[in-house]
Structure 1
Amino acid sequence: YPQATMTLLLLLSVLGLAAGGKLLVVPVDGSHWLSMREVLDGLRQKGHEIVVVAPEASLHIKPTKNFVMKTYPVPFTQEEVDEHFRAFSQDVFKEGSLLERFMRRLQRLKKSAAMFLSSCTQLLYNKELVRYLEESKFDAVFTDPILPCGQILAEHLSVPSVFFLQQIPCGLEFEGTQCPNPPSYVPRLFTAYTDRMNFFQRVKNLIFDLLNYFLCDLIFEPYSKLASEFLRRDVMVLHLLRQASIWLMKLDFVLHYPRPLMPNMILVSGVNCAYKNLTQ
């Protein structure tokens, strides 16, 4: 998908028109990082200066020649990270009823949330690293909002943010962009429904939407507390998400069901796919 890659690079290249911009990257580990890394490689070729902040123990986030990497200590080991992601990937392929799959993934998400929250806390309260970020005068923050740590930093540094994501587990990308999200034809995560549902499926889809609010509180409420303490004012995660300038969505209606979009939601599906020229 070279067209999607070029579109994304063009959008992000406005960070510096006459000269390369200075970009702070706050990534999320795992597969989220793999697609983001491809974008960073392209931005570096365009002349942008990139600084990535990451925990010392991570699955995929490793230094390369295309960016400066700043690490910070975390209270878990590399072995614990590897085991967590291995178990998480195995859970994805386990079968069961809708409720069984939801509860199993809920338990796994709770463990993930605790690990990522700990990592975010260590980053925000690392005085030496935060001082370096303050003095670096970044033009923007590039982050994955599935975890709002990057946006908390963007608020602290008073710089615009660009989000790079596929979706947020409980659908906060809809509320964050004030985008319509009718349960009558937008299937909820884990339901395996399509955009064509009968009456009972729509009712079930609506009920599942209520469960998503519980999931949101479980995952994101601790970040509201953390952000409020760090920024020294009352902050909700939803407020943080609404500050983003651009939402780069790794979606495509060829592969995903139709859904409403807002003007600052830009589809860049394919940017994370390897491609090569095919013979005739």
Structure 2
Amino acid sequence: MAPGLSASPPVVLLFLSVLGLAAAGKLLVMHVDGSPWLSVQEVLNSLRQKGHEVVVVAPEVSLHIKPSKNFVMKMYSVPYTKEEMEKDFKAFSQVPFEEGSFLERFVKAYQGIKRITNFGVSSCEQLLQNKELIRYLEESRFDAVLTDPVLLCGAILAKHLSIPSVYFLRGIPCGLDFEATQCPRPPSYVPRGFTQLTDHMTFLQRVKNLLHDIPDIFLCDFVFEPYSKLASEFLQQDVTVQDLLRQASVWLLRSEFVLEYPRPLMPNIIPIGGVNCAHKELPQVGLVLIHALIVFCDQKGGIFSCNKH
């Protein structure tokens, strides 16, 4: 089990003592729109105050991603309108509150996820085809990429630019984060999302928990596999979704670990509760880890041993 934040002060003090001697870094940000963006904004503002250079790459059409004095914004065109995006996101957000049978709600949710996925895939395709912007990114010599792996375009850029990637996320559907980090996820005591189960289950509840994974097989196929095709074409090599996810140097998990059921975490998965939807105080450990990664990832023999991809 990964230690809680209460067990981290010695590590925090170590990083803080070294960061005072370190130069500022250059961070590329490719993040998910919507509420996740409201969370990452707090981190970007703090990084800018520390003297780091932040460059945000985003589509011209977005819900919340706007230019700011705290970062450089690089935008690219996409083949859809803001009205289309807002309509589909609003319809999808209403599905859990609609009446009807489970099958009806499942079909609506499936259709909604597919439409939203198309926005992300189409946006990523336009970015990777934008030769001028890609050339700018190649010449900018970034130290790291900060991204949410739900939008795998950031992971594709990290692999192309051969720089470390920091994943800032709440979670990934289908348990792909568990598979990528080789974290055990036994259905005997790790409850699946939306099952309303706890970590203490009867035999029948464990069977229900296990069966809940079956729809995820189909969900991941159409949500994430298109990124595998895009990555393989862009990088000119066979790349799987797991290849993209495994390259992360640090997973910053926006999870209140004291409110979640116990589950195994790998050492590079750090719970940083308190940064969901902004306007909350940031735990120092999250910021320190980002700073340390930016500054030291490309230094051989430094605090982090980051592999170039």
Regarding TM over 0.5, the answer is: yes
Q: State the shift of 1:135 in Å.
A: 0.5
Q: Aligned partners of 2:56 and 2:111: how far apart in 1?
A: 30
Instruction: Flag the 1:264–1:31 CA change in 2: closer, same or farther, 3 A.
Output: same
Q: Aligned partners of 2:14 and 2:124: how far apart in 1?
A: 28
Instruction: Flag the 1:234–1:117 CA change in 2: closer, same or farther, 3 A.
Output: same
* Matching residue's letter, 1:208: H
Number of the residue aligned with 2:27: 23
Q: State the shift of 1:198 in Å.
A: 1.7
> After superposition, what is the alpha-carbon deviation per residue over 1:12-69, rounded to whole angstroms, capped at 9, x for unaligned?
9989952210000001111111101111011111110000000000000000100000
Number of the residue aligned with 1:150: 154
Match of 1:189 among 173, 190, 193: 193
Q: Does 1:114 align with 2:118?
A: yes
Q: State the shift of 1:114 in Å.
A: 0.9
Q: Secondary structure, in 3 states, of the residue corresponding to 1:50?
A: strand
Number of the residue aligned with 1:274: 279
> After superposition, what is the alpha-carbon deviation per residue over 1:112-170, rounded to whole angstroms, capped at 9, x for unaligned?
11111000100111100000000000000000001211000000000000000011011
* Matching residue's letter, 1:274: H
Pairs within 5 Å for 1:69-84: 69-84=73-88
Q: Aligned partners of 1:154 and 1:60: how far apart in 2?
A: 23
Q: Aligned partners of 1:230 and 1:60: how far apart in 2?
A: 28
Contact 1:98 1:191 in 2 (8 A): no
Q: State the shift of 1:104 in Å.
A: 2.9
Q: Which runs of 5+ in 2 are unaligned?
A: 282-309
Instruction: Flag the 1:134–1:165 CA change in 2: closer, same or farther, 3 A.
Output: same
Instruction: Flag the 1:99–1:188 CA change in 2: closer, same or farther, 3 A.
Output: farther
Q: Aligned partners of 2:173 and 2:42: how far apart in 1?
A: 23
Match of 2:169 among 160, 165, 181: 165
Q: Aligned partners of 1:248 and 1:184: how far apart in 2?
A: 26
Instruction: Flag the 1:16–1:144 CA change in 2: closer, same or farther, 3 A.
Output: farther
Contact 1:30 1:85 in 2 (8 A): no
Q: Aligned partners of 2:172 and 2:116: how far apart in 1?
A: 14
Contact 2:77 2:126 in 1 (8 A): yes
Q: Which runs of 5+ in 1 are unaligned?
A: none
> After superposition, what is the alpha-carbon deviation per residue over 1:201-249, rounded to whole angstroms, capped at 9, x for unaligned?
2111111112212211121111111100000000001011001000000
> After superposition, what is the alpha-carbon deviation per residue over 1:46-98, rounded to whole angstroms, capped at 9, x for unaligned?
11000000000000000010000000000001111221222222223335565
Q: Does 1:221 align with 2:225?
A: yes
Q: Does 1:53 align with 2:53?
A: no
Q: Does 1:238 align with 2:242?
A: yes
Number of the residue aligned with 2:258: 254
State how many pairs are aligned: 272
Q: Secondary structure, in 3 states, of the residue corresponding to 1:82?
A: helix
Instruction: Flag the 1:107–1:191 CA change in 2: closer, same or farther, 3 A.
Output: farther
Instruction: Flag the 1:275–1:37 CA change in 2: closer, same or farther, 3 A.
Output: closer
* Matching residue's letter, 1:238: Q
Percent of matched pairs sharing the same residue: 66
* Matching residue's letter, 1:107: Q
User: TM-score, normalised to structure 1's length?
Assistant: 0.90
User: TM-score, normalised to structure 2's length?
Assistant: 0.82
* Matching residue's letter, 1:214: F
Q: Aligned partners of 1:192 and 1:201: how far apart in 2?
A: 10
* Matching residue's letter, 2:130: N
Q: Does 1:41 align with 2:45?
A: yes
CA-atom RMSD in angstroms: 2.5
Instruction: Flag the 1:252–1:176 CA change in 2: closer, same or farther, 3 A.
Output: same
Moved more, 136-145 or 216-225: 216-225
Instruction: Flag the 1:229–1:124 CA change in 2: closer, same or farther, 3 A.
Output: same
